[in-house]
Structure 1
Amino acid sequence: MAQIFSRYAAFYARLVLLALLVMVISSVFAWRALTSERHAVDETVDQPVPFSHKHHVDDVGLDCRYCHTTVERAARAGIPPVATCMTCHSQLFTDQPMLQPLLKAWRDGTPIAWQRVNQLPDFVYFDHSIHVAKGIGCSSCHGRVDQMPLMRRTQTLSMKWCLDCHRHPEAYVRPRERIYDMSWQPGDQRALGEALVGAYRIDRKKLTDCSLCHR
């Protein structure tokens, strides 16, 4: 009987399978490297200016929207331009060493190179404005920012974490007038949440559609 396969066929087959396995493993590690968060949970991030949310929000009493001006009408909350900072700091603490990068940016007409703390992969679409409109408070995602001398990420921002809220919005939604109140606590979250899910027309079925976040 004629030999159908070469005596080296088994060797080549194993070699091809090994190459495919290496490619799959390499692809997984590359994908994880490209899509992983830059900063770990509760890790503070060095910034050009050590901006304290605790001082500005808790001590001074600034509203989130004073700096994050587009949070109610755009996908991004917005980072304040140097001019916003200089509303106060053209007069206050101008001799402090920590503020010198800010003053130099103002003189040179250049922006501050802030480092992002909460960052999603590029293949995830997130819109701040719809979350605010539907009653999701800042602290639900960002934690007690008003108690942070230096900004840090408090949530994993993983797909599972997002889906926990999308599947059970009644556990997180709050009155719109309390969106920016970091210390707000509900009396009966379940009862209040169920009422607000109806009042704000939150469609639970659509919240788990893949295309909602992956467009």
Structure 2
Amino acid sequence: MAQLFSRTADMWFRLALLGLFGGLAALFVAFVILSRSDYTTDKGWTVQQPVPFSHEHHAGALQIDCRYCHDSVETSAVAGLPPTHTCMSCHSHLWTGAEMLALVRQSLAQGEPLRWNRVTELPDYVFFHHGVHVNAGVGCAECHGQVDSMPLMRKAETFSMSWCLDCHQDPAPRLRPRDAVADMSWTYKGDRRELGEALMRKHHIGDGNLTHCYTCHR
């Protein structure tokens, strides 16, 4: 009876299967690595804006409080962006003819708001309230990084679910007094965890389950 397959056919078949499953495993690993990479999460990437606003200059050199521009951050779900007249409260006197501020002057003259590009944007299925976090003592820098050293704003963290849960599971080391939330140079010489735990008791943080699904998905 004629032999249909060569003696090495079984070996080649096994190698082909091994290569197939190995390739699928490699693709899965590559997908996981890519999905968590800065390329996908945009962490560390600078976002181009219509006007090259420098947090390094305004929040750093000039020491302008974050809440002067983001004036709803303590009470609203969104931090808010400054209307043009807030910018012009200074720039109607300073750098009045600067070319880079031409769009700001145009915005004021035409009554049309500037269209800023979002640096951080959460999915629609995520509930987040700035006011809750700020009043709990979560400093701006905890999420947005040292913006006072950023010539152009960049995304400082991944804002992934696991990153948020890291804080919700153990918020104490990340808390500070409420009057220091916008202070980019704030430091504490004592035990941050001890301070945080005291603040949690004072403000009743963690009385509910901070890791319950409903906390962030409503």
Which TM class, normalised by the smaller chain length?
0.7 to 0.9
1:161 pairs, out of 148, 160, 163, with 163
Match for residue 194 of structure 1? 197
Shift of 1:91: 1.9
Q: Distance in 2 between matches of 1:124 and 1:84?
A: 30
1:130 pairs, out of 114, 129, 132, with 132
> Equivalent residues in 2 for 1:164-179 (5 A)?
164-179=166-181
Q: Distance in 2 between matches of 1:52 and 1:38?
A: 25
- Output one character per residue of 1:119-176: Cα deviation in whole Å (capped at 9) or x when no partner: 1111101100000111100000000011111000110000000000000011211111
- Indicate if the aligned counterparts of 2:137 and 2:177 stay in contact, CA closer than 8 A: yes
Partner SS for 1:123: coil
Q: Distance in 2 between matches of 1:71 and 1:39?
A: 24
Match for residue 121 of structure 2? 119
Q: 1:132 to 1:62 in 2, by over 3 A?
A: same
Match for residue 67 of structure 1? 69
Tell me which amino acid in the other structure corresponds to 2:137. Answer: G
Task: Structure 1 unaligned segments of length 5 or more: list them.
Answer: 1-28
TM (norm. structure 1) is 0.80
Match for residue 58 of structure 1? 60
> Equivalent residues in 2 for 1:72-83 (5 A)?
72-83=74-85
- Indicate if the aligned counterparts of 2:41 and 2:158 stay in contact, CA closer than 8 A: no
Shift of 1:214: 0.6
Match for residue 46 of structure 1? 48
- Output one character per residue of 1:36-70: Cα deviation in whole Å (capped at 9) or x when no partner: x9861111111000000111111112111111010
Q: Distance in 2 between matches of 1:38 and 1:108?
A: 37
Task: Structure 2 unaligned segments of length 5 or more: list them.
Answer: 1-30
Q: 1:94 to 1:100 in 2, by over 3 A?
A: same
TM (norm. structure 2) is 0.79
2:209 pairs, out of 196, 203, 206, with 206
* C-alpha RMSD over aligned residues: 2.1
Q: Distance in 2 between matches of 1:82 and 1:38?
A: 32
Match for residue 151 of structure 1? 153
**Aligned residue-pair number:** 183
